[in-house]
Amino acid sequence: MGSITVPADVAAKLDGLDMAVAAIGELNFDRLNAPVRLHVLEQLETVRRRQIVVAHDVIAGLAAEDPADIGGPAHKVIADWLRISYAEARRRLRDVKQLSPRLTLTGQQLPPELPGTAQVWKDGMLDGQHLAVIQTFIRELPEATPVDAVEHAERFLARQALKLRPDQLEKVAHRCALLINPDGKFSDADRARKRGFHWCGQQTDGMSVGKLIASPELRANLDAWMARFAAPGMCNPNDQAPCVDGEPSMDAARTDSRTPGQRQHDALNALVRGQLGDPKLGVHNGLPVTVIVSTTLQELTSGTGRAVTGGGTLLPMRDVIRMASHAYHYLAVFDDHQRRPLYLGRSRRVASPDQRVVLYATDRGCTHPGCDVPGYWCEVHHMDEWATGGLTDINKLTLTCIPEHKLAEKRWRARRLPNGRTEWVPPPRFDRGARTNDYHHPERLFDDEERAGP
């Protein structure tokens, strides 16, 4: 593990902070009366907020660096060092961007996006929830709102935040929004900004919750599709031969016990499934746009356990077997303990479709330590640089996301370990011990523990 030399003056101040916190922790606050303890709590809260302000200044400097010079994309590096989620790291970076001075292309300094909020934030007077209320207020204003009206409202809310709780401030912000846009008029551009879809984490039973904010057009399209394919008797997976075209029989419609929500789910699944593998969709990373599943021979023959897709989704083996009845899906099957390598030598630079399927199965996603990007969104990396004679052999290839791939040009080196895992060897100043990625292989944590013994 590499060592980091902290300048003496910085180290002294940080040590002083640690000692001050330790000394305060040794005080007996129970001997103080309630008003004094509340005063202590208030002062501790202000100090905590000021520490966050200082941390934001540090984050602002890191965000301005070349990702290769800090060991990767800023949000990933910060998340790994602080052991926080990528989402939390992105939120802090977004806060820093809105609260820090801006520079034009010519180097001229401009005030922060939220100038009034930035001022009281720097003084340690706001909580993160106060900031979130003001950010939400600004984000949800119509795009055509006059700039001076936005600035006036933002400064007003910043002043109100000095004396209100976040829940109280939210009510004031709501009243301000009504004053600015009393008729509730929003343009197509305003609505388009809000559109989106994302998955929440897959639950322990395999089910997933998704959040969809649909444009009027998408909703109209889905309504039309659901009216036909979510009707009773249509696309019913409980039927031996689900009806996906034509008209369902009267018996199938009469005995359909699914709820409306379940019928819409099955109709949406039929819509997507019917498109996958269609040559008209072209290819993604050299493969047809389809589901790629990897599992072991033991699990497949027993019909138990879970397979993993190239997108990181866990699939019960019953679903894998059922999906195998539909064309255009790739299934990679491996022995529990061996991996059969495929070789192409230098006959071509681009990894073959078969090799990519194998990498989806062995690596499952980006192999850089801590990265959570699944295989579908990864590139194939030559561990031995192609330009200097490296071979396109399966045991010399690995998956990496686009930002981490660029680190290979900055003295980061990937190599295959005897156990088949990919190890990333960083420059000495970024070496913090973790060189392999177990995120996509949680079973390794148990395997390693068993091998280590008591």
The rounded distance, in Å, linking the Cα atoms of 318 and 304 is 7
What DSSP string describes 18-43? HHHHHHHHTS-GGGS-HHHHHHHHHH
Res 262: pLDDT:
97
Res 343: pLDDT:
39
Query: Per-domain residue ranges for the chain?
Result: 8-180, 209-275, 281-334, 353-452
The rounded distance, in Å, linking the Cα atoms of 241 and 165 is 59
Res 71: pLDDT:
87
The rounded distance, in Å, linking the Cα atoms of 350 and 347 is 9
Instruction: Calculate the CA 317 to chain-centre distance.
Output: 26
Residue ranges of alpha helices (H) inside 64-163 are 67-70, 74-82, 86-99, 115-122, 128-139, 147-161
Q: pLDDT tens per residue, the chain (454 residues)?
A: 556 789 999 999 999 999 999 999 999 999 999 999 999 999 999 999 999 999 999 999 999 998 888 888 999 999 999 999 999 999 999 999 999 998 888 888 889 999 999 999 999 999 999 999 999 999 999 999 999 999 999 999 999 999 999 999 999 999 999 999 998 888 889 989 999 999 988 999 999 999 999 999 999 999 999 999 999 999 999 998 889 988 999 999 999 999 999 999 999 999 998 888 788 888 888 878 888 888 777 777 777 788 888 888 988 888 887 776 654 467 766 655 554 433 344 455 566 777 888 888 889 999 998 899 999 999 999 888 877 777 778 888 999 998 888 888 778 889 989 888 999 998 888 887 778 998 888 887 766 555 555 5
Instruction: Calculate the CA 267 to chain-centre distance.
Output: 28
Res 454: pLDDT:
52
- Confidence (pTM): 0.77
Res 84: pLDDT:
94
Strands 283-284 and 287-288: antiparallel
Q: What angle do CA 236, 238, 242 make, to 5 degrees?
A: 45
Contacts 24+ apart (CB under 8 A), 423-430: 424/367, 424/368, 424/369, 426/2, 426/71, 428/2, 429/2, 429/4, 430/2, 430/71
Assigned token pair, 70: 């800090």
The rounded distance, in Å, linking the Cα atoms of 163 and 23 is 30
Q: What angle do CA 34, 36, 37 make, to 5 degrees?
A: 65
What is the CB-side half-sphere exposure of residue 367 using CA atoms within 13 A? Answer: 29
pLDDT tens-digit series, residues 138-149: 999 999 999 999
The rounded distance, in Å, linking the Cα atoms of 327 and 416 is 34
Greatest Cα-to-Cα distance within the chain, rounded to the nearest angstrom? 82
Handedness of CA 273, 277, 279, 285 (dihedral sign): positive
Q: What angle do CA 346, 413, 392 make, to 5 degrees?
A: 15
Tokens 């340690």 locate to 124
Assigned token pair, 34: 């309630």
Amino acid 27 reads L
The rounded distance, in Å, linking the Cα atoms of 353 and 197 is 29
Please list, in sequence order, all residues whose beta carbon lies within 8 angstroms of the beta carbon of residue 84, skipping any fewer than 6 positions away: 78
Tokens 């109100």 locate to 160
